[in-house]
Amino acid sequence: MKNQKIKIGVISALHEEQAGLVEQMQDVITIQRGMRDYVSGYLWGIESVCVLSRIGKVAVAATTATLIERFGVTHIIFTGVAGAAARKVRIGDIVVANQLVQHDMDASPLFPRFEVPLTGLSHFFSDKQLSNLMSKAARQFINEDFAAKITEQCRQEFYIDRPVVHQGLIASGDQFISTAIGLDQINNNLADVLAVEMEGAAVAQVCFEFGVPFAIVRTISDNANQDSPVDFVQFLEKIAACYAYGIVRQFYSLLKEEKRLPV
């Protein structure tokens, strides 16, 4: 990374999704804004602002806009957990978004279903370079850190064998998906959804509107079915933080090697 002044915004909805990062920061200043704590400083040597957005699309849209407008971040990453939406995606796998859609957006018949009015878009693309870097970071986490960081007991409890890193479509909406019917409704109307969650597509829309490159990474905590409320809570408690910290750490070390970042 040369001659580039970058400042990374790091967002998660919940504490466990970025636990440990703030403790790694140096020259920390915390500023409260709109009920959020924006912790700014240097994370592994790169200027960064870490913030918990709270849950849902509106919460994260407000947070994303504030990061851009008030804190001048040049790039945004979101790290968190999500429900699996495809058969091949399992608990413990990692999904990096290459596109995001709001599955609860419906202004039809005025606009096509899922299209965000006045943008002409239903699917928003994440930044290719950042997302590829994030996938590489996730693979490095699995290959280098996973065995040491996630106990055998945890792996057995969640039937995690060898986690896979997927790249594809993430669908977001203001619903915790915890029934097969709920998930079918999404999959029947949208093709190739890998994971469901509640913030990613809102980050994507705001970043698109402000022209800020972003990447979204999600660890699968549950199967978006009747077991989700229990799986989600257990996963969050025991595993999520390890993944999030490990992936972001790998991402930062890759960032430092990168010669040119998207602007």
17 part of the active site: yes
| Region from 18-26, 44-52, 79-87, 106-114 binding ligand SAH, contact rule CB under 6 A | 79-87
Regarding 197 and contact with ligand SAH (CB under 6 A), the answer is yes
Of 222, 246, 247, 249, the one binding ligand SAH (CB under 6 A) is 222
- In three-state secondary structure terms, 41 is strand
Residue whose token pair is 């040491």:
148
* Residue of 16, 115, 197, 222 marked catalytic: 222
Rounded least distance, CB 177 to ligand SAH, Å: 4
* Residue of 16, 17, 127, 231 marked catalytic: 17
Of 18, 68, 78, 83, the one binding ligand SAH (CB under 6 A) is 83
Of 8, 10, 11, 13, the one binding ligand SAH (CB under 6 A) is 13
Q: Please state, in angstroms and rounded to a whole number, the distance separating the CA atoms of residues 103 and 172.
A: 6
CB 215 within 8 A of CB 64: no
Rounded least distance, CB 59 to ligand SAH, Å: 9
Beta-bridge partners for 169: 99, 193
Q: Please state, in angstroms and rounded to a whole number, the distance separating the CA atoms of residues 84 and 183.
A: 9
Regarding 77 and contact with ligand SAH (CB under 6 A), the answer is no
CB 217 within 8 A of CB 77: yes
Q: Please state, in angstroms and rounded to a whole number, the distance separating the CA atoms of residues 5 and 50.
A: 17
Alpha carbon distances (Å) from 117 to 78, 111, 121, 126, 168:
24, 7, 8, 19, 23
Regarding 187 and contact with ligand SAH (CB under 6 A), the answer is no
- Which residues are part of the catalytic machinery? 17, 222
Catalog residues that contact ligand SAH under the rule CB under 6 A.
13-14, 55, 80-83, 176-177, 196-199, 221-222, 224, 228, 232
